[in-house]
Amino acid sequence: MLFLYKTLKKENNNNMNNIEYDEIIKENIGKDNIFKNVFIAFFTGGLMGLFAQLLTDFFVNYYKININDAYFYTFCFFIIVGSILTGAGVFDKVLSICKCGLIVPSTGFANTMTSSAMDNKSEGFVKGIGANIFKLTGSIILYGVVFGIIFGFIRSII
Amino acid sequence: MTNYYSDVYINDYYSLLSSSKFNPIILDNVDEFINDYYMGEKTIEEAEVRYQELTIKKLIQKNKKKNISLLISGDLQNQILSSTLSASIFKIPYLGIYSACATFCEGLILASNLTNKKSNIIVTTSSHNLVSEKQFRFPVEYGALRKRVNTCTASGSVSALISCKKSKIKIESSTIGFVTKTNHKDTNDMGSAMAPSCAEVIKLHLKNTKRDPSYYDLILTGDLGIYGTEIMKKYYNKITNQELKNVIDSGSIFYQEENIYAGASGPACLPLILFNYILKQKNYKKILIVATGSLHSVLSSNLKLPIPSVSHAVSLEVDNEIN
């Protein structure tokens, strides 16, 4: 038994161990520049927010609808534009420039659903689109609802 | 395991490139270039079948061979779908193989071992950018943000005809590699996952054949990418205390245009570069091709298992004076 253990240990010493290899990987690859991406996302996301606010104000002032309906229309506008741009094959190109500033708002949600549906279109309406449209967005919806309930509780207590 | 062959040759090949994305270096040399992801089909999966069908058909026509004794092919789709579908078009005995991007070398090794005086064997492989995006990564139009270590799958297909008839590319020997596994789990970075297996199979081949790395004019690796190649060289240096100088990685040189990726990948990447770039230069006599394959699946990456990888080495001797 001891002999077997020793031979096994010896073999391990001859090969490179995993920690050493991880160090080689770290040395060569380094890290992505997160700050640049975060800054771009912050800026573009902020612009999107500004645009959404202007759009809401436009609905309220020009069409004279109440503010809650105006929010709803703005939301729909973003989803429709996101889906159409995804379908036209433009969204991913814009996204590579704007980074996460476009993923976090509802445009990202629309893009995820539309792209999943487009990918599985060829597999039919039931097993393709129906089964796969929530493949990526399913987790957003589920955890959105779960955390909505949790924070709703917290807010009602406070 | 190393095998030596006295009379096995690659008689001819036919290559198809199907995307001009990032201006590939082989764009002018390739046998056929069709800038189409669909090839008149409704789905991308069927388009890949057409890629393989085209290269096999053209290769048979070009050589006027009627009695092909075996077809060995593989690709990246689930259950190697496009290989089986394209094989169903021809009435040729068929072996389907899968070792991800190491498929071409595995096919060459199998063909070299199975060939005899009368047989003609075709080895085919293909890859399709959109198919592998859909299968291994995210939906095509999703536009997920890439890391620097990501590779972009090359689209195309290559068929090679192997027999005992003398020609300018001789398969001299081959080494079958073993599967390696480290702690590496990031499927974005397949170069780091494949580098150990690549270094190990080069070490094994040189040890079994009692050769030095300088024996070869060129060691052409598969699709390690820019970062993976450096990691492989360092790993090799640590396990053998020798330096590899004459290494070119086909994935790293594939795209000429500056892009966000670390290079090309896919089973078709190595043969496309080998036949249409390296052999066209005519200044390499002894070439060791090492195809590297990362054997993960979507399930294994979701289960957070380490990525296993395998590489196979084939030693080629090129004599440009023979036609």
B201 lies in the same domain as B292 = yes
Please state, rounded to an integer, the average pLDDT across all residues of chain A: 85
Lookup: tokens for B297: 């699946």
Judged by phi (left if over 0) then psi (alpha if -120 to 50, else beta), residue B143 lies in left
Helix axis angle, A106-119 to A67-87, nearest 10°:
40
Q: Taking CB atoms and an 8 Å limit, are B192 and A89 in contact across chains? A: no
| Residue B60 shares a structural domain with residue B115 | yes
- Spatial neighbors of A13 by CB under 8 A, at least 6 apart, are none
What is the rounded average pLDDT of the residues A96-108? 82
Tens digit of each residue's pLDDT (9 = 90 or more) over B118-136: 899 999 999 999 999 988 8
**Mean pLDDT of all residues belonging to chain B:** 91
Residue B4 falls within a domain, yes or no? no
Residue B247 lies in a domain: yes
Instruction: Please check whether residues B134 and B16 belong to one and the same domain.
Output: yes
Using CA atoms of A7, A11, A13, A17 in order, give the dihedral in degrees to the nearest 10: -130
- The DSSP result for B53-117, as a single string, is HHHHHHHHHHHT-----EEEEE-SSGGGHHHHHHHTTS-S-EEE---GGGHHHHHHHHHHHH--T
Q: How far is B162 from chain A (nearest CA, A)?
A: 37
Element (H, E) at B161: strand B156-163
Residue B36 in this model has a pLDDT that exceeds 50:
yes
What distance in Å separates the CA atoms of residue A156 and residue B55, rounded to the nearest whole number?
Answer: 67
Predicted pLDDT at A158: 85
Average of pLDDT values for A79-104? 86
B127 and B230 belong to one structural domain: no
Q: Could you tell me what percent of chain A has a pLDDT over 70?
A: 90
| Domain tally, chain B | 2
Same domain assignment for residues B118 and B204: no
Structure-token pair, residue B181: 């596994």
Strand partners, B17: B33, B156
Q: Which among B163, B196, B229 is the end of a domain?
A: B163
Q: Cβ of A24 and B147 within 8 Å?
A: no
Q: Which residues of A touch B145 (CB under 8 A)?
A: 37, 95-96, 99-100
pLDDT at site B219: 94
Using CB atoms, which residue from B196, B231, B260 is nearest to A28?
A: B231
Nearest CB among B141, B189, B239 relative to A89 is that of B141
Note whether B28 and B111 are same-domain residues.
yes
Both B236 and B151 in one domain: the answer is no
Q: Give pLDDT, residue B80.
A: 92
Could you tell me the pLDDT band of residue A9, with boundaries at 50, 70 and 90?
Answer: low
Q: How far is CA B61 from CA A88, A154, B2, B13, B169, in A?
A: 40, 74, 34, 12, 20
Residues in A 38-77 with any Cβ partner in B closer than 8 A? none
Q: Is A154 on the interface with B (CB under 8 A)?
A: no
Reading the block at residue B69, the tokens are 């004794």
Task: Decide: helix, strand or coil at residue B206.
Answer: helix
| B296 and B154 co-located in one domain | no
Is the model's pLDDT at A15 over the cut of 70?
no
C-beta of residue B183 within 8 angstroms of C-beta of residue B306: yes
Looking at the fold, whether B157 and B265 belong to one and the same domain comes out as no
* B251 part of a folded domain: yes
What residues contact A146, with CB distance under 8 A and at least 6 apart?
none
Same domain, B156 and B86: yes
E strand or H helix at A95? helix A91-98
User: Which of these ranges, A12-16, A116-120, B37-41, B151-155, has the smallest mean pLDDT?
Assistant: A12-16
Size of interface A-B (CB pairs under 8 A): 82
CATH code of residue B276:
3.40.47.40
pLDDT of residue A6: 56
The answer on pLDDT for B117 being more than 90 is no
Tell me: do B254 and B187 sit in the same domain.
yes
| Cβ distance of A29 and B260 shorter than 8 Å | no
Of B141, B189, B238, the CB nearest to A115: B141
Nearest CA in chain A to B150: A29
Final residue before a domain boundary, out of B163, B190, B208: B163
Rounded to an integer, the average pLDDT of B140-151 is 83
> Encoding tokens for residue A87?
């379908």
| Secondary element (H or E) of residue A108 | helix A106-119
CB contact under 8 A, B182 and A112: no
Look up residue A2 and give its amino acid.
Answer: L
* pTM, two decimal places: 0.89
Q: Which pLDDT value is given to residue B197?
A: 93
**pLDDT at residue B107 greater than cutoff 90:** yes
Question: For residue A7, what pLDDT band results from cuts at 50, 70 and 90?
Answer: low
> Containing domain of residue B72, as a range?
9-163
Helix (H, G, I), strand (E, B) or coil at B318: strand
Q: Is the pLDDT of residue A33 over 90?
A: no
Phi-psi group of B2: left, alpha or beta (phi > 0 → left; psi -120 to 50 → alpha; rest → beta)? beta
Most distant CA pair in chain B, distance: 53
pLDDT digits (tens, 9 = 90+) for B44-89: 999 999 999 999 999 999 988 778 999 999 999 989 999 999 999 9
- CA torsion A39→A43→A48→A50, rounded to 10°? 140
Do B58 and B114 fall into the same domain? Answer: yes
Instruction: Decide: helix, strand or coil at residue B304.
Output: coil
Q: Which of B138, B143, B182 sits opposite A91 (nearest CB)?
A: B143
Which is more confident, A104 or B94? B94
Given a contact cutoff of 8 angstroms between Cβ atoms, the answer to whether B135 and B77 are in contact is yes
Q: What is the reported pLDDT for B16?
A: 94
